[in-house]
């Protein structure tokens, strides 16, 4: 009887840690809004809020700039993005190990303009950083690139 209670307790504890680990992985900080001009919105878990300089970005966030707006974003691997007016950028996948510099980064850009200076992820592993647009997939290999997606 005691062994059964201990087993049930251990299973409940394990379930708690697995659920907490999943929640933490979804809210992991991957970058930060460094600069902004005009109206910039962060969409997170179905909620929309006005961005401010210093706001932390998480995996699965969407950054959206308004007309006459822009945002400068720095990611924890050293990548830097400059999003121009009317840009919608969904941060799909981000994984980075600061010790090994290994990782992967995938974002989806529906519209707007974006200048990218790649960081450690792209320099460490070719094809580990990608921007997906409606018509193409851009891979980065330690470069600087500008992207424009028109309606």
pLDDT digits (tens, 9 = 90+) for 106-126: 999 999 999 999 899 988 887
Of residues 78 and 151, more confidently modeled: 78
Burial grade of 94 (CB within 10 A; 0-12, 13-18, 19 or more): buried
pLDDT at 123: 86
pLDDT at 125: 82
Handedness of CA 20, 25, 27, 32 (dihedral sign): positive
Cβ 139 vs Cβ 127: under 8 Å:
yes
Q: Which helix (H) or strand (E) holds 34?
A: strand 29-37
SS3 105: strand
Cβ 41 vs Cβ 55: under 8 Å:
no
Question: Is the pLDDT reported for residue 1 higher than 80?
Answer: no
Q: What percent of the chain clears pLDDT 90, i.e. is strictly above it?
A: 64
Instruction: Extract the tokens encoding 70.
Output: 């822009």
Tell me the mean pLDDT in the region 14-22: 47
Distance, CA of 29 to CA of 10 (rounded, Å): 30
Q: Lowest mean pLDDT: which of 11-15, 18-22, 55-59?
A: 18-22
Q: What percent of the chain clears pLDDT 70, i.e. is strictly above it?
A: 79
Question: Is the pLDDT reported for residue 55 higher than 80?
Answer: yes
pLDDT at 105: 94
Q: Which residue has the tokens 């309606």?
A: 151
Cβ 139 vs Cβ 126: under 8 Å:
yes
Cβ 131 vs Cβ 109: under 8 Å:
yes
Query: Beta strand pairing status for 29-37 and 56-58?
Result: antiparallel
Please name every residue paired with 80 in a beta bridge, in sequence order, or none if there are none. 74, 117
């Amino acid at each position: 009887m005691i062994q059964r209670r201990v087993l049930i307790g251990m299973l409940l504890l394990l379930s708690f840690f697995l659920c907490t680990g999943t929640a933490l992985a979804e809210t992991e900080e991957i970058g930060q809004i460094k600069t902004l001009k005009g109206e910039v919105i962060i969409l997170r878990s179905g909620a929309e809020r006005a961005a401010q300089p210093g706001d932390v970005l998480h995996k699965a966030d969407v950054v959206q700039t308004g007309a006459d707006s822009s945002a400068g974003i720095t990611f924890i691997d050293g990548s830097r993005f400059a999003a121009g007016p009317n840009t919608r950028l969904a941060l799909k996948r981000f994984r980075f190990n600061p010790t090994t510099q290994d990782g992967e980064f995938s974002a989806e850009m529906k519209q707007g303009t974006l200048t990218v200076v790649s960081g450690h992820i792209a320099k460490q592993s070719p094809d580990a950083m990608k921007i997906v647009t409606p018509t193409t997939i851009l891979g980065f290999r330690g470069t600087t690139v500008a992207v424009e997606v028109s309606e």
